[in-house]
Amino acid sequence: MTEFLKDFAKQMQYLKKDANLLVLTHKKPDGDAHCSAIAIKLALNKLGYKNVDINIPNCLEDFDFLPEFEKVNCGLKPKYELVIIVDTPEFNRVDTKVDITKTFKVVIDHHNTEDFNFGELKYVDPSATATCEILFDFFQQLKIKITKDIAICLYCGILSDTEVNY
């Protein structure tokens, strides 16, 4: 993860704090998809990036208790400077109507697949139970304070991907 973190930090240095950033996930999103998308948005906000949108077209109302759930799919722009794709191992599973073909893409996932051939910067850890587990480590190494809202998202994402009955 160290090399990925260095590359991620370098990429973020090129972006102004008012840059338009987009967070995406996969078709038929599950708990880890919803939670990791919102968690990364909250973390980017803590780093000073205020224009972070989340696009989850088939958003599940089951997750309406999550912090900032009401902001998902709001105010989407036609163009973004950076796209972060979470919990999605294949480009054909990315769910968005926004054209991201020419946008720099960062991919963070825990699924191991032979077809992981998209994204200019990617981190995959198949030993992680959920993308939210990776994000927890990622946030700690970047020294991003885990707020109550971020913790709720991370916990819920890990819980839902490990199929714990709650």
Instruction: Say how far apart CA 156 and CA 132 lie, in whole Å.
Output: 9
124 in a domain, yes or no?
yes
Q: What's the Cα-to-Cα distance from 130 to each of 48, 64, 74, 155, rounded to whole Å?
A: 26, 20, 26, 10
Instruction: Say how far apart CA 83 and CA 57 lie, in whole Å.
Output: 16
Residue 110 near residue 128 (C-beta atoms within 8 A): yes
Q: How many structural domains is the chain composed of?
A: 1
Residue 104 near residue 81 (C-beta atoms within 8 A): yes
- Structural tokens at position 66: 């999550």
157 in a domain, yes or no?
yes
112 in a domain, yes or no?
yes
pLDDT at 117 (0 to 100): 75
Number of H helices, E strands in the chain: 4, 5
148 in a domain, yes or no?
yes
Give the CATH number of the domain where residue 109 resides: 3.90.1640.10
Tokens 């840059």 locate to 19
Beta bridge partner(s), residue 106: 84, 121
166 in a domain, yes or no?
no
Range of the domain at 15: 2-161
**Per-residue confidence in pLDDT tens, the chain, 166 aa:** 778 888 888 888 889 999 999 999 999 999 999 999 999 999 999 999 999 999 999 888 999 999 999 999 999 999 999 999 999 988 999 999 899 999 999 999 998 776 667 889 999 999 999 999 999 999 999 999 999 999 999 999 999 998 765 5
83 in a domain, yes or no?
yes
